[in-house]
Every structure is written in structure tokens, then in C-alpha cells.
Amino acid sequence: MCGRFVILSPPEVFRETYGYPEQPNFPARHNVAPTQPVPVVTAEHGRRRFALMRWGFLPAWVKDPADFPLVINARIETAAEKPSFRNALRYRRCIFLADGFYEWRRGGGRGAAPCLIRRADGRPMALAGLWETWSSPDGSEIDTAAIVTCGANGLLAALHDRMPAILAPPNVDRWLDLREVDARAAAGLCRPCPEGWLTLAPANPRVNDHRNDDPDLLVGEAAPVAPPPPAPPTVPPAQGSLF
């Protein structure tokens, strides 16, 4: 799965990598958490577009978000059949702007050690995503998104049995090509990436608290002996404000 990620590259690097015309200026983020606004790139009518969306997918048919679970990941194996994701896989695919993600060692529980996974070449990490616009009864709209996941590769299997679908550079174009690439073909792009693409390093246990967002999170530290180490990651309330 993917429950936290980082955005470290300058905005111009993302713009050059993904080719959208907008020139947004956004700061580095070292602990992006669910329900927060996240930058993504979409393609509409063959044109790339930068957008901010709420990380937490809401299907258009949801009546009351308070009665719907927080959905931050979408399993690619079932996305084409699930009512929540079926239309998004066909018509609303996106790329999360990211440079890496955190994962906690298998077993969970108190003291689970966080790790930071990044691309070995230091380039942005193209995380496949799905998005949807949810309309409230009062007519207001929120764009929401989820990260697509697939089975873990050999490197990450010791941490978790799932990982984000990290697209190869040539497959970014195909994932965003809604006219020529159908849902079945798009799903075929989301598979475990080669182990050699990635590096894995200890992260600071302070990442467990979503309120911490600073460069020190990227540097591993020994977990304290007393008091007990922090619990696994907390997340903000499921219905937090988009901004």
C-alpha cells in the first residue's frame, strides 16, 4: 500500500518531466498524508494539466462522505470491476507528483520501523493514480484521487505485500492516453517495478505523526528505548478540508 509520500523535486523539474503548461510554485513536502491536497497531472483531450486534488477518493455516486471510508489506494487487480474505480480507470487516470514513499516494516504494531523508498536515479517517481470529481448536494465540487497499487517486488516484499504502481517513463504517456489506451491495457501497465529502480533507507520515526513535515524525516534515527516508540502512522480526520 502507500499511506505517506514525499515531494522533494523543484516544481520546474516536475513540469519538465510531465510536460504540463501551468507553472505552479509549491514547496517541498516530507510527509504527505491522506486527506491533504496533493499535486497530480492529468490529461484532458490530449493535453496535460496540473491540478491539486484531495488524497482520498470519493466516487461520484457517494451521497454523504461521512458514511464512506477513506480510500487512498486502489488495487489494480480489481479496479476494472469495482464500482468505485471502474469509470475512473477508463476515463480519469492521473500521475501523483512524488519523489518517494514511506513504508513500515511488516508486522505493524508499536515501534514498526519506517523506511523511505526512492528511485535509484533520483528522478521523480511516477505513481499511477485515479481521480474523480465529487459533487455535494449544495453544488460544490471536490476533485479527489487515489494511488494505484500492485503486488510488491522482491525488494519491498519484506516490508509489505503491496506497493504503489510506479510507471516506467514510456508508460506515463500510455497511462494518461485516455483515447487510445483502454482500461484493460492501462491496468497492464501497473505491475511491480524492477528492484534495481529503487533504493530503501531507514526513515525517522517522527514520520509516524502526520504533523511532522521537515527534512529530518528523511534521515533514519534509532527508535527510543523509553518512552516506547510511537505507534504506526496516524492520519488526519477522514473528512478534513481540502485546503
Catalytic residue positions, numbered: 2, 103
| Phi, psi values for residue 66, rounded to 5° | -65, -20
d(CA 60, CA 62) in angstroms, rounded, equals 6
DSSP state of 208: G
38 beta partners? 53
Q: How far apart are CA 234 and CA 131, in angstroms?
A: 24
Q: Is 220 exposed, middle or buried (0-12, 13-18, 19+ CB in 10 A)?
A: middle
Q: Round to whole Å and give the CA distance between 101 and 125.
A: 9
